[in-house]
Amino acid sequence: MTESSALTLSGLNVGWIGTGVMGLSMAKRLQKERVNLFVHNRTKEKARDLLNEGAVWVDRPCDLIEKVNIVFMMVGLPEDVHSCIFGGHGFLQSEKELSGKVVVDMTTSSPSLALKVGGMLGQRGALSLDAPVSGGDIGAVNGTLSIMVGGDEAAFHKLRYFWEILGKTIVYHGSYGLGQHAKMVNQTLIATNMIGVSEALLYAYKVGMDPWKVLESVESGAAASWSLSQLGRRILKKDFTPGFYVDHFIKDMGIALEEAKKMDLGLPGLSLAHQLYLALKDQGGGQLGTQALYKALERINNISS
């Protein structure tokens, strides 16, 4: 954070919708920059930390957008995004002027919805960006997220100080929906990688090796990945708490597979990962972290490590 960006953001009216595992940490980072934060969430209690630090609660999205210059959304599902914008109490129900306001959807959602959002908000004079992120709960806390942005280019440049607070790698990909398409690439990579991480650690366990030593051997070589170093360690600690929920990952993979189908593109690796995660959900693992795929593969192999 530079001194100039801190001065620029101080006192700015900013809205935040969605205070889940990642959204709460991201909103806290903005709050530390002395913005005037206005918050809405499906469950008010989950925004309590922000409210205790001076954030203002707003009951409805249509009321929130009237109070702020910029509003960020980090909600769970495309349906939630749709509700915040098009629903009975959504942004577009506001009867006040929306020209010049910026709406940033950081939810992983569908590219087609991002196109619709951009078009409809644009008719009211508002600028919009689809800006999904990668980096999990750790990246949200530390401000090291990768942010993939599509939408209005002027709005992208206007928010340069916000990107600096929330992320480390920020790439503008082009028009509405392209940020979401970039995130589908990201999720496809993670899905198949998590199969490899889980299978490799099961292999090490089954052969009787010390999995921590194995991890030390392979994580800095050609097999290195964020998932291996970060989530592999959580697996070995039997820590399956969510940095990102299985339920939400299943949603993301479903979007990617749907987009691939439209392009007549076969993705067998992603399809396999989707099926394995659905099996994990059926076993009651929907609210676990994505590293819990290891548990599903344990069950398939009748292993209790």
Residues classed as catalytic: 183
> Which residues are CB-contacts of 169 (< 8 A; sequence separation ≥ 6)?
145, 146, 147
Residues 284, 194, 187, 156, CA torsion sign: positive
> Which residues are CB-contacts of 174 (< 8 A; sequence separation ≥ 6)?
150
| Closest C-alpha among 189, 159, 171, 102 to residue 133 | 171
DSSP-assigned letter for residue 290? G
Cα-based distances in Å from 137 to 27, 126, 243, 244, 303: 13, 30, 5, 7, 29
Instruction: Provide the token pair at 268.
Output: 């067998």
Between CA 298 and CA 137 the distance in angstroms is 25
| Closest C-alpha among 48, 97, 49 to residue 69 | 97
Instruction: Provide the token pair at 218.
Output: 């392979």
Phi, psi of 140 (to 5 degrees): -65, -40
Cα-based distances in Å from 213 to 193, 216, 227: 20, 5, 17
Phi, psi of 37 (to 5 degrees): -95, 125
Instruction: Provide the token pair at 248.
Output: 């939400």
